[in-house]
Amino acid sequence: MIARIIAVLVLGGLAACSAQPRSASYFQAHPAEAAQVIADCKTGAARGAECANAPSGAAAAANAERLKLYRKGF
pLDDT at residue 62 in the model = 95
pLDDT confidence of residue 15: 54
For residue 2, the model assigns a pLDDT of 79
10 neighbors 37 (Cβ within 8 angstroms): no
CB contact at 8 A, 37 and 51: yes
| Cα(55)–Cα(34) distance, integer angstroms | 7
3-state secondary structure at position 11: helix
Which ranges of the chain have pLDDT less than 70?
Answer: 7-18
Answering whether pTM is above 0.85, one says no
